[in-house]
Amino acid sequence: MTRDKGCAFPTCHLPARWTDAHHLTHWADGGKTNLDNLVLLCRTHHRLIHHGTWSIHMRRGIPWFTPPPEIDPTRQPRRNILRQ
Ligand SMILES: [Zn+2]
């Protein structure tokens, strides 16, 4: 995958070879296997997304991560600026 050079989680610097593709919409729920539906995440952040309350959405092909209120009460979306 060329868009994400590594884990897409904000501030994470792990390279792509240490990541897995995360489906924003699971294929069982009708999610497609294309770049708009895939985000590379390292194991730690993949687990966080699956078990935590962060949410991800795509904005012009870039994954933005919205933290849960206990981390940021204003829930400001953020992206990984290391991947620009
Ligand atoms: Zn990561």
Torsion sign across C-alpha atoms 41, 68, 33, 62: negative
pLDDT digits (tens, 9 = 90+) for 47-82: 999 888 899 998 888 899 999 999 999 999 999 998
Residues within 5 A (CB) of ion ligand 1: 7, 9, 12, 14, 42, 45
User: What is the C-alpha end-to-end distance of the chain, expressed in Å?
Assistant: 15
Digit-coded pLDDT (tens) for 9-47: 999 999 999 999 998 876 667 766 677 788 999 999 999
* Ligand 1 centroid – CA 42 distance (Å): 4
- Distance from the alpha carbon of residue 32 to the mean position of ligand 1, in angstroms: 23
Q: How far apart are CA 74 and CA 83, in angstroms?
A: 24
Residue 43 dihedral angles phi and psi, to the nearest 5°: -60, -40
